[in-house]
Structure 1
């Protein structure tokens, strides 16, 4: 039990609320799924040697999904008193009665999930003062690295501790917890009238493993490297794409591997299962069981056990990501990719840790001998990337390469193409995997031709 609300009603714990709801649903003959979550978070920002923001927040609630006559009805509540839970159950049932039945709708009780450590060393014993010190150290190290670092507009420390419970009236019960600790720094480099900004970050589940000074120095060096930019040429050139940039492109098009998008005809991969759709160097795996993955988990939003899923193998399309319902409609089993945006959201399909697997080419050999483009960042994905077709036209940053060496940075330019064409052109993959904060990963890649439009 966790106290009372303003009206004096007793507030249940997440576990007790789940038990109460499932018991009430079973007594009424209602098929019900409960998704409960509690998140405690800290956010600290630093600026000019002082803490500019310090936030501590806690959010918890319970999401309900009732199955009535083959139709789903959703509701949620952040009030965990018995009367509020009963109202939420009635709302879920009533909402289900208002919508049409859906093929494949059913609740399931899966087997035991794998053991996945998403907690690490935890944050017990870590004080607020220690977290503040990390944020201040980040900002100071970046600012003092070079006189051309004019300021550090974005720098800070964040952490979150999340408890997730899933259960349904088929007897399924799941409990999990996850810890995220993150530092980031984005320094502004200035020389004359030219301003450039890049950044770096570090994710960990072990506070003692944070290295704010190294993160700050790497961020400052990335920003400084962009100074002295020259206009980019226009044309089609050989290109090397950094791992982080390729991973960001992958993020923009991850939904094309969703079974729901495929069945709705909103993926360029629809109807192509078993076909070669990328270079034979490309193997793409989504793996929620990675020990240090940003989106690792033992089970998905429906409680289905997590397991690695190979989507592309040697360039051949092997599978799509599915939740229980999209899998049933495809005549398959769930791949453990049910996703929902917290207890307020509805169940969909989503990736966990999605990565193009590293190749065998040493990283330095990927750029060897290349005269052309080194693509380091793309921007504007919300408007410039179409996951329905795979086409993209994106603002970008990078460098010009001469015989494999960085000659000079380039002013902002545009790159255009199609993600499947790009993946099909890959002729070398580096051996180091880089990740984005959205849990997509890739090694550096070399392609023979990329369309560029300079400023």
Structure 2
């Protein structure tokens, strides 16, 4: 339970000595992965991991250590090692743990307790079904290279000697298919997927249709001559562009001189119809979360509005170095890492035209 994890984190934070700050990030994850091929189970794996990451800040120096266990001795060793590591840290006046900032976390329904009761056979059946449905979606589908089902139940808690207390529980599930289509001697591939919080929320037919359509739509395609033209991007291609763009919206990238948008806040950097936000408080977003990796409430951040750059994403450290505040955008790869900065739920505000109208407009 996340309450148990928060108790562990709070006990670590309570051991802060005079002149130091202590933070504990405690996490537990249970996941399952099923891969099938040609109607047979290729692999089925499940795993459970848990651990604690401890940060200690004293005299403008930070130490970090982690343990892949939550027993008392392992947790105590991680705290002691983090203290030792702080002695060798680089002096940096901007280091320090966040104080509670008073932002109210969003009330998000992200956890499905019943996932723990779903039988392995039912998970295998979903992987087999997405493979079968992909094969049946179009007569030009020659095979399914990969069909998968995956899920994870993730619990995490953060507590610090500065008063931060936060806990998060979420479940994620997905089905995925990678199809091979052919016509004559030509072959093309395409993938499709469906995601949710519980297997009952997955749409196998949607994933299969997407994989088949993406594989077959390129059959017979020809490469045009080089010229300046208007294009309509596939939503998944657009998402890939946003993934590249997201790194430039990080305050960490700005500080390291790796953002094309550095020193351009308030300037026009895109079309007036372009509005980009990161909103982890949106319950429909797969990356939704009520708290960030430092235990502060997430919030909707407008990055580019009407083509004008409004700002960047920050955690506590990058915000301080940049002379501003955190945007609740701290992220971690898990208990083995310190907080970085990242987007959780980037989205473009949609325009008024349908995809069909856009395609018709470019001939």
TM-score normalised to the size of structure 1?
A: 0.75
Counterpart check, 1:53 vs 2:11: no
After superposition, give the CA deviation of every residue in 1:233-277 in whole Å (9 maximum; x if it has no partner): 223222111222112111012111111211222211111111111
Which residue pairs with 1:352 in the alignment?
Answer: 344
* Counterpart selection for 1:23 from 14, 22, 26: 14
Which residue pairs with 2:245 in the alignment?
Answer: 253
**Residues 167, 295 of structure 2: 8 Å contact kept:** no
* Counterpart selection for 2:78 from 88, 96, 104: 88
Inter-partner Cα distance in structure 1 for 2:71 and 2:202: 40
Alignment of 1:215-226 (within 5 A): 215-226=207-218
CA RMSD of aligned residues (A): 1.9
Deviation at 1:149, TM superposition (A): 1.8
**Residues 105, 290 of structure 2: 8 Å contact kept:** yes
Return 5+ residue gaps in structure 2 as ranges. Answer: none
Aligned to 1:368, what secondary structure does the other structure show? helix
**Residues 110, 303 of structure 1: 8 Å contact kept:** no
Alignment of 1:253-272 (within 5 A): 253-272=245-264
Which residue pairs with 1:377 in the alignment?
Answer: none
* Counterpart selection for 1:152 from 139, 144, 158: 144
Deviation at 1:14, TM superposition (A): 3.0
Inter-partner Cα distance in structure 2 for 1:292 and 1:60: 27
Return 5+ residue gaps in structure 1 as ranges. Answer: 2-12, 371-402, 404-455
After superposition, give the CA deviation of every residue in 1:340-373 in whole Å (9 maximum; x if it has no partner): 1111112111111011110112322111142xxx
Counterpart check, 1:179 vs 2:163: no
Inter-partner Cα distance in structure 1 for 2:359 and 2:209: 24
TM-score normalised to the size of structure 2?
A: 0.94
Tell me the number of residue pairs that the alignment of Structure 1 and Structure 2 aligns. 360
Inter-partner Cα distance in structure 1 for 2:361 and 2:13: 64
Inter-partner Cα distance in structure 1 for 2:185 and 2:355: 34
After superposition, give the CA deviation of every residue in 1:93-150 in whole Å (9 maximum; x if it has no partner): 1111112122322222233422122225752542222111111111111123344322
**Residues 10, 160 of structure 2: 8 Å contact kept:** no
Inter-partner Cα distance in structure 2 for 1:312 and 1:146: 40
Inter-partner Cα distance in structure 2 for 1:165 and 1:147: 49
Inter-partner Cα distance in structure 1 for 2:29 and 2:62: 26
Which residue pairs with 2:277 in the alignment?
Answer: 285
* Counterpart selection for 1:102 from 74, 92, 107: 92
**Residues 110, 172 of structure 1: 8 Å contact kept:** no
Deviation at 1:173, TM superposition (A): 1.2
Deviation at 1:231, TM superposition (A): 3.3
**Residues 323, 349 of structure 1: 8 Å contact kept:** yes
After superposition, give the CA deviation of every residue in 1:411-452 in whole Å (9 maximum; x if it has no partner): xxxxxxxxxxxxxxxxxxxxxxxxxxxxxxxxxxxxxxxxxx
Which residue pairs with 1:70 in the alignment?
Answer: 60
Inter-partner Cα distance in structure 2 for 1:15 and 1:308: 25
Which residue pairs with 1:168 in the alignment?
Answer: 160
**Residues 284, 355 of structure 1: 8 Å contact kept:** yes
Inter-partner Cα distance in structure 2 for 1:323 and 1:249: 23
**Residues 121, 206 of structure 1: 8 Å contact kept:** no
After superposition, give the CA deviation of every residue in 1:367-412 in whole Å (9 maximum; x if it has no partner): 1142xxxxxxxxxxxxxxxxxxxxxxxxxxxxxxxx2xxxxxxxxx
